[in-house]
Amino acid sequence: MCGIIGIASNKSVSTNIINSLKKLEYRGYDSAGLATIYNNEINEKKCSGRVEELEKILFKNPTDGNLGIGHVRWATHGVPNIINAHPHSSDVVSVVHNGIIENSNELKKELESKGLNFKSQTDTEVITILITEALKKMTPLNAVFQTLQKLKGSFALGIIFKSHRDIIIGARRGSPLAVGYSKEENYLGSDSYALKSMTNKISYLDDGDLCILSKDKVEFYDFEQKKINKKVYILSDDKNTAEKGDYKNFMAKEIFEQPTTIKTCVNEYVDNLKKDINIYNFPIEPKKINKIVLVGCGTAYHSCIVAKYWFEEITSLDVEIDIASEFRYRKVKFNINNLYIFVSQSGETADTAAALELCKKNNVKTCSIVNSVESTIARNSDWVLPIHAGPEIGVASTKAFLGQLVVLYILSLKLGKTRNDINQTTYSTSITNLEKLPDSLKECLKTENRIQVMAKEFLDAKGSMFLGRGLSFPIALEGALKLKELSYLHAEGYPAGEMKHGPLALIEEGLPVIVIAPKDKYFEKTISNMQEVIARGGKILFITDHKKELINENIRFGIRVPTIDKLLTPILLTIPIQLLAYHVALLKNCDIDKPRNLAKSVTVE
C-alpha cells in the first residue's frame, strides 16, 4: 500500500508533488522519492523515512521541471532504505509502483542472464529495466504495453520518459489509480484524497486500464491498446473534514468527532418523522434473501462479527462471516439467494476487493459498506451503503468502525422489518433509540480523564487480555487490535467463556485484563470468568453500563458508559477501548497517526 503522484504542468511541479506525498503518507511512510524531467534529463531524489526528509533534500538541492512523479513506500520487497525507495530510474525512464509483481524473481533472473544489472532488492526495478530495454525498439506507449504483458501480480504505475518530457503513463491492475483534471495541468494519483487539494474532477482507472497524461490532454486505453473513455466524477467538497484542526493528531480528531459523524450517518438513513429507514433497491428482494455473508479485514471484520449477532437477533436470516484473506481462497458454496456484504473503510483493501471479485465471477449479488463511494470496492459492488464518516486519516480506524456498525445495524433493522421478522413497535422504538446514540457517545468521551490514568497500568505489563461475551466479544477483539497497532504492546482479545480452555495460563500477578461486561444476559457469567482471573492475580479494568456500584477491591479501574438499547451498547463500549489504546500509545511516545509497519489502505495481499 504505497502512494503514487504524477503531475504534468506548465509550471514547476516538485512543490506540488511534495505536498501530495504528504497527503499520501497515510498509505505508507517507510521511504519517499520523486523524479522530474528537466533539461532533458531524469532528476531523481529519494530518501528513507518520511516525506519531510525528502523536502530537506530538495531544499538544499532543488529539482525543477514541469513534469514529474512521486512515491511514498510501504515496503513489500526489500528493506525500507534509499536504494529501495521509489522512483526506480534508468537513464531513459523512471517508474513508481504500488503493488506486488509476483513473477519479479523469474523476470530478474532472465534480465540478469542478458547481462543487465540491478541496484535494488525491489520487484519494481524489473519494470524499469523491461521498459528501458523495450524503448530501444519502440515508442513509450508500446514499450509499456509490451512490459505489462509480462507482469504477473498487482500494480498501479506512474512512468515518465527522458525522451518524451511531456507525458506520464499510468497503468492499473489490482491497485488503485486515479486521474485528476485541471486547466493548466493534469494529475495521476493513488486516490482522490491526494488530488482533491488540486482538483475536484477525477476519473478512476479500472483493472486493465492505461492512461497517457500531458498537461492539456488525457487519453485512456485498455491493455489490448483499444482507446476507451472514463467517467469524470466531481468530488464532494469535504476538504475541511480532512484537516486535523486544533487536535494533536488525526486520531484524536476522529475519536472526538464520532458523535457528529454518527449523527450524520443516522440522518442519512433514518426518517425520524415517519420512523422509517430509507434503504431501498436491495439487489435481492429482501424476502428472497436466504443468507447474509459478511466479509472484511481487521477492524472491518470486527464490525462483521458484531453484525452477525444483530442479524441473528433482529432477522430470521442465516448469517456467515469470514476474513477476506480466508474467504477468497476457500471453496465457497455460492448461492444466488445469498447477499454478500463487503465492509471496508478505504474500499481499496486488496483481500476484500479480491473476495468481492470472486463473488462477481460467481454471479451472486454484492453490497459494500464503505467510507469512500469512489473506491474500487464501491464501484465493483451491485449496491453501496456509504458510512458518511468523512476522510479517516489515522491508520487506526475509529470513526469508520462506528460508522460501519451503525450502517450494519440500520440494515439489520430494515431487513427485519421488510421481512416481517420484527413488528412496527420494535422497529419504531429501535429507530428512536438510534437518535440517542450521538449524545450517549458524548457521555462516553467524558471518561477520557479516567482512562488516561488507567493507561499507566499497561506501561510495564508483559501484555494484556480483553474479554467479553456476546456482542462484547468483538469489542474485546477490537480493543486488543487497537492497543497492538497503536502501542506495539501484545494484547489478546478473547471470548470470556474461553479463558478456562487455555488462555487462563497467561494470567499472572498484575497482568491487566480488560473485562467488557454490560448488564446483559451474559453479565453474571462474565463476572464469574472475571473471578477466575482475579483468583490468579489478574488486574481487572472493568467496562460496563451497569448502574450498580461494583465495589470490589479486585477491580483496579471501573469505566461506566450510559445505558441504551442493549443492541446499541457495543457501539458505546467502543469509545473507552479506543481512548485506552490512544493514551497508552501517547504515554509510549508512539506515532499515533502512522504506527510503525502499518499503512491505512492495505492494497497488497
Minimum CB distance to ligand AGP, residue 274 (Å): 32
Going by C-alpha positions, the residue among 74, 55, 53, 64 that lies closest to residue 4 is: 74
* Residue number with CB closer to ligand AGP (298 or 570): 298
To the nearest whole angstrom, how small is the minimum distance from the Cβ of residue 485 to ligand AGP? 6
Q: Write the Ramachandran bin of 506: left for phi over 0, alpha for psi from -120 to 50, otherwise beta.
A: alpha
For residues 127 and 95, the answer to whether their CB atoms sit within 8 Å is: yes
281 phi-psi bin (left φ>0, alpha ψ -120 to 50, beta other) = left
* CB closer to ligand AGP out of 179 and 395: 395
Please pick, among 2, 47, 304, 359, the residue that the annotation labels catalytic.
Answer: 2
Contact 513, 467 (CB under 8 A): yes
Does residue 343 contact residue 372 with C-beta atoms inside 8 Å?
no
Report, in Å, the least distance between residue 236 CB and ligand AGP: 19
As measured in angstroms, the least distance from the Cβ of 345 to ligand AGP is 3
| Separation CA 550–CA 539 (nearest Å) | 15
Query: Is residue 605 within 8 Å of residue 354, measured between CB atoms?
Result: yes
Would you call the peptide bond into 87 cis, given omega within 30 degrees of 0 as the criterion?
yes
430, 413 Cβ separation under 8 angstroms: yes
Indicate the residue among 395 and 496 with the shorter CB distance to ligand AGP: 395
What DSSP letter does each residue of 544-602 carry, written as one string? E---S----TTEEEEEE-----GGGHHHHHHHHHHHHHHHHHHHTT--SSS-TT--SS-
Cell of 178: 486515479
Buried b (16+ CB within 10 A) or exposed e, 509-544: eebbbbbbbbebebbeebbebbeebbebebbbbbbb
CA angle 411, 350, 379 (to 5 degrees): 55
In the complex, least distance from residue 257 CB atom to ligand AGP, rounded to whole angstroms: 16
Catalytic residue, from 23, 253, 308, 600: name it: 600
Q: How far is the CB of 578 from ligand AGP (least distance, A)?
A: 10
**Cα–Cα distances in Å, from 239 out to 195, 199, 235, 447?**
11, 11, 10, 30
**Cβ distance to ligand AGP smaller for residue 319 or 602:** 602
Looking at the Cβ atoms of 104 and 344, the one nearer to ligand AGP is 344
CB of 184 to ligand AGP, least distance (A): 34
Our CB check for ligand AGP shows the closer of 298 and 479 to be: 298
> Largest Cα–Cα distance in the chain?
81
Please say which residue, 586 or 602, places its beta carbon nearer to ligand AGP: 602
600 is an active site residue: yes
**Cβ closest to ligand AGP, residue 396 vs residue 579:** 396
Catalytic annotation present for 2: yes
Residue 185 CA to residue 551 CA, distance in Å, equals: 66
Rounded to a whole number of angstroms, the minimum distance from the CB of residue 407 to ligand AGP is 13
- Interface residues with ligand AGP (CB under 6 A)? 297-300, 344-346, 349, 352, 395-397, 485, 601-602
Residue nearest to ligand AGP (CB): 298
* CA pair distance 111, 131, nearest whole angstrom: 12
Question: How far apart, in whole angstroms, are the C-alpha atoms of residue 364 and residue 362?
Answer: 6
- To 10 degrees, the CA torsion angle through 160, 72, 171, 15? -50
The residues, ordered by sequence, that sit 6+ positions from 315 with a Cβ below 8 Å of its Cβ are 412, 415, 416, 419, 421, 422
CA 23 to CA 315: how far, in whole Å? 42
**Cβ at position 254, least distance to ligand AGP in Å:** 11
Measured from the CB atom, the residue of 122 and 345 that comes closer to ligand AGP is: 345
β-pair type (491-495, 555-560): unpaired
**Residues with catalytic annotation?**
2, 600
